[in-house]
Amino acid sequence: MRRLFVCCVLAAAGLGVAGCSTPRGAAMEQEIVRGAGREDASFQVVAVSRDTVEMLNHWPVTGWSGSYRWIGNDRGPQSPIIRPGDSISLTIWDSQQNSLITPTEQRTASMPNIPVSPEGTIFVPYIGEVEVRGLTPSQAREKIQNGLLPVVPAAQVQISVEMGRFNSVDVVTGVPKPGSYPLADRNTTILSIIAQSGGVSDALRNPLVRLIRGRETYEIRAETLFADASQNTTLVGGDKVLIEEDRRFFTSLGASGREELVYFDRDRVSALEALSLIGGLADTRANPRGVLILRDFPKTALRSDGMGPEKERVVFALDLTNADGLFAARVFNINPGDTIYVTESTVVAAQSIFGLVGTVFGLRNEVEN
């Protein structure tokens, strides 16, 4: 007991004593960054301040591309476009007595559900293969009617189009009613299709709208899509829409309000916003001078001119006890995959030691009594 008493008194005086320690919930700053100055150090420590934050935000982005990529809103005419896979129904009117098209005693001939071939053509008697791909229904009607003029001069053509799979979009996930939805015209927007499929599922946290077109993938946060009318892009046949949770996250550890994975709730999250998301600093434990952000960079990002990291592992250090550090924290970006580590205050350790010293005094007096 005497040895414990001596150890704790020495520790309280600031002397390092082997074999004498107190339990803590987080590491201290000097324990984490110790050895950063050695030539063989596997990481570097970079202070985030008003003078460095702008440059640091231009370092290579990690964890994602750095921004969402969305497609422009290209409005076109209201009429739909005929594509392979559609079905066309023709009604041909002919007033001639000996018509080559209409049956006897009738003035119309119906040709329902003619499929548009993969080559974009349909077969019409006395004309043959007529290419209709890329035409509007009115343009296709005029082309067929003109083709019939040599054999049926008085013919009039009526046309209707049923959209096929190349003139529809698939809503795959994230809605109550996933499925294939036909495009009413060339101005059918993504919000219209989402509405037809029942809207975004309430169960999704921070939903992200993903659009797959051909071999390209585009993404936008649902909140941004709903708030900005210019983002309500038009769809084309074959598009696929998926609504999923934004899976970007950072990790919170140490003397913070929460120790867990924290998911992004917007495109960009600053260090100060991230601290708010994790419940701030633990009032009785945290060291506001030692808020550390741990980040891994690929080897291809390493540089020696100060415009990028010198080592693959970087510890960014924030001091929140002055205005310079607070303003820097407001604009320093957190990247997906980062770890925010709030170190423990040395004052807390000293208080723990003094508390232990007081306990020893109490035990000693109790023994003596």
The CA distance from 259 to 255, in Å, is 8
87-162 folds as wza like fold (3.30.1950)
What does residue 349 show for φ and ψ, rounded to 5 degrees?
-65, -40
29-63+249-344 and 169-245 have identical folds: yes
What integer pLDDT is reported at residue 32 of this predicted model? Answer: 65
Question: Please, where are the H alpha helices in 157-281?
Answer: 190-196, 222-227, 271-277
pTM over 0.85: no
Q: Which amino acid is at 327?
A: F
What is each CA distance from 168 to 61, 72, 148, 179, 183, in whole angstroms? 37, 19, 31, 10, 5
What integer pLDDT is reported at residue 283 of this predicted model? Answer: 77
The CA distance from 12 to 242, in Å, is 59
Buried/exposed code over 282-304 (b: 16+ C-beta within 10 A; e: otherwise): beebbbbbbbbbbbbbeeeeeee
What integer pLDDT is reported at residue 196 of this predicted model? Answer: 96
What does residue 245 show for φ and ψ, rounded to 5 degrees?
-75, 145
- Look at residues 37, 52, 71 and name the one whose alpha carbon lies nearest to residue 211: 71
In CATH, the architecture of 169-245 is Roll (3.10)
- CATH number among 1.25.40.80, 3.40.50.1000, 3.10.560.10, 3.30.565.10, domain 29-63+249-344: 3.10.560.10
Q: List the beta bridge partners of residue 88.
A: 114, 161
The CA distance from 45 to 35, in Å, is 10
What integer pLDDT is reported at residue 117 of this predicted model? Answer: 93
Q: What tokens appear for 258 in the block?
A: 């929460």
- Look at residues 167, 204, 208, 158 and name the one whose alpha carbon lies nearest to residue 186: 167
What integer pLDDT is reported at residue 356 of this predicted model? Answer: 41
Q: Please report, for the chain, the start and end positions of each structural domain, with discontinuous segments joined by +.
A: 1-24+346-369, 29-63+249-344, 87-162, 169-245
Length of the chain: 369
In the chain, what is the greatest distance between 2 CA atoms, to the nearest angstrom? 131
- Look at residues 143, 109, 139, 142 and name the one whose alpha carbon lies nearest to residue 129: 143
What integer pLDDT is reported at residue 22 of this predicted model? Answer: 45
What integer pLDDT is reported at residue 57 of this predicted model? Answer: 94
What integer pLDDT is reported at residue 159 of this predicted model? Answer: 94
Q: Which amino acid is at 290?
A: G
The CA distance from 262 to 333, in Å, is 15
Give every residue of the chain whose pLDDT is below 50, as ranges: 1-23, 348-364, 367, 369
Q: List the beta bridge partners of residue 112.
A: none
Give pLDDT tens digits for 320-337: 999 999 999 999 999 999
CA dihedral 273, 279, 280, 286 (to 10 degrees): -140
